[in-house]
Amino acid sequence: MADLFGGSNDSKPGKAEAARPLADRMRPQTLAEVVGQEHITGEDGVLTRMIASGTLGSMIFWGPPGTGKTTVARLLANQTNFAFEQISAVFSGVADLKKAFDAARLRRSNGRQTLLFVDEIHRFNRAQQDSFLPVMEDGTVVLIGATTENPSFELNAALLSRARVLTFKAHTEDSIGKLLDRAESLEARPLPVDDEARAMLVRMADGDGRASLTLAEEVWRAAKPGEVFDPEGLVRIVQRRAPVYDKSQDGHYNLISALHKSVRGSDPDAALYYLCRMFDAGENPLYIGRRLVRMAVEDIGLADPQALVITNAAKDAYDYLGSPEGELALAQACVYLATAPKSNAVYTAFKGAMRTAKENGSLMPPKLILNGSTKLMKQENYGDGYAYDHDQPDAFSGQDYFPDRLGRQTFYEPVDRGFEREIRKRLDYWEKLRKARQ
């Protein structure tokens, strides 16, 4: 009989075990059982070597959700006989940290060390992160912090200098497949899906092992006796997991970087793929439009002057049309940029000119190109000797316009591609005239 407030009166271990989530029942019991992180948990992995040495050092586990960070921390404590204490930066504050440190000090006085696992450690502010430093240095705790965000950006340098960063990789399709195989073995029944639906379920997990097991549970619960789902049926029963993408953190920067480098690498198909990944994840299309404009001036430049015109037009078209029609304008600009001739000559010239301007201070331009607009300036020979280019042969005087103390500089070196090939001819022609008139 069911207890209204306490669950079932039937306390058979089998039923209690079956009531636990599949991901919890499948937690590895040794490092060797961990799937997908063989580079650190395998026979020659850094954690395996660390356990063999009998010592543990503080570490930061960095990786996407569902890759085993918490599980591995527990296994390290179990296999080294450390006391395991876990807190979450989402729900904890200074009082919780003090309580954990005091408990660790008491254990140490009784001869036992503490492994303090801090989930989402990047959510602690700088002052809270600093509070770990003294207890790490005096051995009160061995800290393992877990984060989905890049530690270089989110954690104090002082904390990082005292902890080794280990990277957990998103699950591959093969490792997700192994997890599903193990789940079928544990459940003693196959997943009620055909081959195509199984492959789709693996992709839906998006590299998250825990998510793959949760999806598998949903499929088992939804299936009627003898029912087997095809891809369409799978989508209907489990709906669709949102892509792992935080518009203000790593997912955002990783995908825009991938888009930019695909455009730079003249691969329109890869560029379109990453563009659509960002659209699908809910990125602001106007942000993407601004980035495309940046690509036009950084990577195409004057090799195709129309690139800037087209990307600005695409941004304006999206602003005018909105979604979903406006996305097509951005896709058109993306393909145009990826297939345009490439040159970073203006970008490089700008950086070189800016560096020279900063390094050489406020040098006076030569007086011949300064306007003698006052009597004093005329007395100081401002404008004397200036040759009006339109009055010169070929509309070119060849005068030196750089400050006398700096001398002539060359910043812009056009490439032999696209329209810059024509610009190169012009510059060579003017240089020939300049030398002839010296």
Q: What is the mean pLDDT of the chain?
A: 88
Query: Three-class SS of residue 61?
Result: strand
Alpha helices (H) along 81-172: 94-109, 126-130, 132-137, 151-154, 157-160
pLDDT on residue 241: 52
Tens-place pLDDT, residues 62-100? 988 899 999 999 999 998 889 999 999 988 888 899 999
Rounded Cα distance, 303 and 344, in Å: 9
Q: Is 114 left (phi over 0), alpha (psi -120 to 50) or beta?
A: beta
pLDDT on residue 7: 43
Q: Which of 311, 343, 331, 341 is nearest to 271 (CA)?
A: 331
pLDDT on residue 70: 93
CA angle (293 as vertex; 290, 294 as ends), nearest 5:
90
pLDDT along the chain (438 residues), means of 10: 41 57 89 91 89 88 92 92 92 90 94 94 91 93 92 89 92 92 93 92 88 92 91 82 55 86 94 91 87 96 96 92 90 96 95 89 85 80 88 89 89 93 93 86
Q: Which of 399, 373, 402, 395 is nearest to 386 (CA)?
A: 399
**What are φ and ψ of residue 68, in 5° steps?**
100, 20
List all residues 6 or more positions away from 411 whose beta carbon is below 8 Å from its beta carbon.
348, 349, 350, 352, 353, 356
Structural tokens at position 49: 């070597």
pLDDT on residue 16: 57
Domains and CATH numbers, the chain: 37-167 (3.40.50.300), 173-238 (1.10.8), 250-339 (1.20.272.10), 345-436 (1.10.3710.10)
Tokens 């032999």 locate to 416
Angle between helices 325-339 and 306-321 (to 10 degrees): 170
Give, for 355, the enclosing helix (H) or strand (E).
Answer: helix 345-360
List all residues 6 or more positions away from 2 whose beta carbon is below 8 Å from its beta carbon.
8, 9
Rounded Cα distance, 192 and 223, in Å: 7
**What are φ and ψ of residue 34, in 5° steps?**
-70, 130
Tens-place pLDDT, residues 378-415? 788 888 888 898 998 889 998 888 998 888 899 999 99
Give, for 75, the enclosing helix (H) or strand (E).
Answer: helix 69-80
